[in-house]
Amino acid sequence: MVASSAPIPARPKPIKFGTDGWRGIIAADFTFERVAQVAAVAAHVLNHCFGAETGSRTVAMGYDRRFLSAEFARTAAEAIANQGFNVLLSQDYAPTPAFSYVAKHRGLLGAVVITASHNPPAYSGLKIKGAFGGSVSPEVTQQVEALLPTPPAPIGDRGTIETFDPWPDYCAALQAGVDIAAIQRAISSGKLTVFADVMYGSASGGLPRLLGEGSIHELHSNADPLFGGNPPEPLPKYLGEMLETVKDYTTSGVKVGLVFDGDSDRIAAVDGNGNFLSSQILIPILIDHLKSRRGYSGEIVKTISGSNLIPAIAQMHGLELYQTPVGYKYIADRMQAAKVLLGGEESGGIGYGHHIPERDALMSALYVLEAVVASGLDLSDYYRSLQEKTDYFSEYDRIDLPLASMEVQAKLLASLAQAPPTEVAGKAVKDMLDIDGYKLTLADDSWLLIRFSGTEPVLRLYSEAKTLDEVHKHLHWAKDWASAFG
């Protein structure tokens, strides 16, 4: 296996936080010196934001399984301690939500996690989690960026660094909310067979810890800094072995495949026939299960790229719906402001108001398994039953379209703002939502979402319609529309 041959930039890119953290190419953008710099300032900002309410001076420090992650975490911990703060340094890799959980559970200032999530192997990154147990807001990361040129002075003498194991408390919290015994009985009796592709990431060993050793078939659980040559992102094109493994396994019971991204905050699944299931399918199932069988209530929060089956399921159960821009930070903000049952995004992030305001793939995996055991249904059969109950049937797809330059992107944005389309692939546009890009609802209630990357010339296109053929017509129309601008 060979590493990417992408050219290394001559100068490091400016330190900028994106939708969830700062990420960069290792040894080019992401260096030990810069990690120490960012971590030290992050501790001061966490103290400014949460010090008064927590009375704490301690920051949790975690990391994933990427190249040099443990060493970056140690460097960050030393930098934070040098600023007068105490550090709880993880003794091993763990899921990112485990560090969000420990921040809230132990009343800390927050957590800093070395992870680049689902990015390609050449990248590392740094996420900042608040005392409340989730990603800090853009306003907080903007404070970090603003202070980097002139960092604050230490608040006192050097703090302490204490190592800890984040897994036991985190796993106990997950187990407390799920009928673990029912899942274990289904597995031991042969009624349920569970596969997990952890994609060489931080979910490795997670389900065996939760359900018992030997309870599942875990794929790609070994440490590999190249992630098998692909980004650790739960997409079908990277899951060939998983899809075939589940499809070919012979059993009289129900088969479920679970897929985790690199830091275990995003999830996808595989049905018994080896078909990939995105969170667009999992979220309706989870809402139905948690409301009808567990009796949870509260708002359903979705991003604008989420399937229209989600509001249909919410309406069926008498639950309010709240819609946000794309990005889990917006869902987390809503989770802190209102009573939320579930918040989910199209890209695989799902979280729960009774847990922490953070996407958590292992928590979602347990609820998926519980739903399958309680219903006795294959995941795709469960999904179809919800389509029938709501009389809403649809297909969904998305593509990322590289553009020639940021100038072309600016032209597209200007066109959408000044003269938005009135027709898409022969269908009239009846409504437009512009809280994040432009979501065009068409005459037959299908939709097309046009969004732009904030950091590179990339057009992100999403569509949902009654048939996959219609979806692809919408996406091709959008590609042709964009190509006319150069």
**pTM of the complete model:** 0.93
Convert the pLDDT of each residue in 136-189 to its tens digit: 988 999 999 999 999 999 999 999 999 999 999 999 999 999 999 999 999 999
pLDDT digits (tens, 9 = 90+) for 312-339: 999 999 999 999 998 888 899 999 999 9
DSSP E strand boundaries for 98-239: 110-114, 123-130, 161-164, 192-197, 217-219
Question: CA distances (Å), 79 to each of 66, 126, 160, 189, in order?
Answer: 20, 14, 11, 51
d(CA 450, CA 440): 8
Residues ≥6 apart with Cβ < 8 Å to 346: 278, 279, 280, 303, 305, 306, 307, 326, 398, 462
Tokens of 65: 């399984």
Largest pairwise CA distance in the chain = 68
pLDDT (tens digit per residue) in 230-284: 999 999 999 999 999 999 999 999 999 999 999 999 999 999 999 999 999 999 9
| Choice among 16-20, 388-392, 409-413, 425-429 with the minimum mean pLDDT | 16-20
- Each residue's pLDDT tens digit, 182-232: 999 999 999 999 999 999 999 999 999 999 999 999 999 999 999 999 999
Q: What does DSSP say about strands 276-277 and 267-270: parallel, antiparallel, or unpaired? A: antiparallel
Confidence band, pLDDT 50/70/90 cuts, at residue 1: very low
Share of the chain above pLDDT 90, in %: 92
What's residue 186's pLDDT?
A: 98
The values of phi and psi at residue 252, to 5°, are -90, -10
52 CB-near residues (< 8 Å, 6+ apart): none
Per-residue pLDDT tens over the stretch 87-146: 999 999 999 999 999 999 999 999 999 999 999 999 999 999 999 999 998 899 999 999
Give the strand order in the sheet containing 299-303.
Answer: 321-324, 299-303, 340-344, 350-352
Which of 4-8, 347-351, 402-406 has the highest mean predicted lDDT (pLDDT)? Answer: 347-351
Query: What is the chain's mean pLDDT, rounded?
Result: 95
Torsion angle (degrees, nearest 10) of CA 135, 137, 142, 143: -90
Which pLDDT score, from 0 to 100, does residue 479 have? 94
Distance CA 436, CA 420 (A): 14
pLDDT value at residue 14 = 92
In the predicted model, is pLDDT for residue 3 greater than 50?
Answer: no
Q: Degrees (nearest 5) of the Cα angle 263, 159, 146?
A: 65
Phi, psi of 417 (to 5 degrees): -70, -40
Q: Which residue segments constitute the domains of the chain, with CATH numbers given?
A: 22-164 (3.40.120.10), 177-390 (3.40.120.10), 397-483 (3.30.310.50)
Is residue 2 scored above 50 in pLDDT?
no
Q: Facing residues of 87 across strands? A: 59, 161
**Token pair belonging to 328:** 């889990």
Question: Residue 148 and residue 17: Cα distance in Å, rounded?
Answer: 12
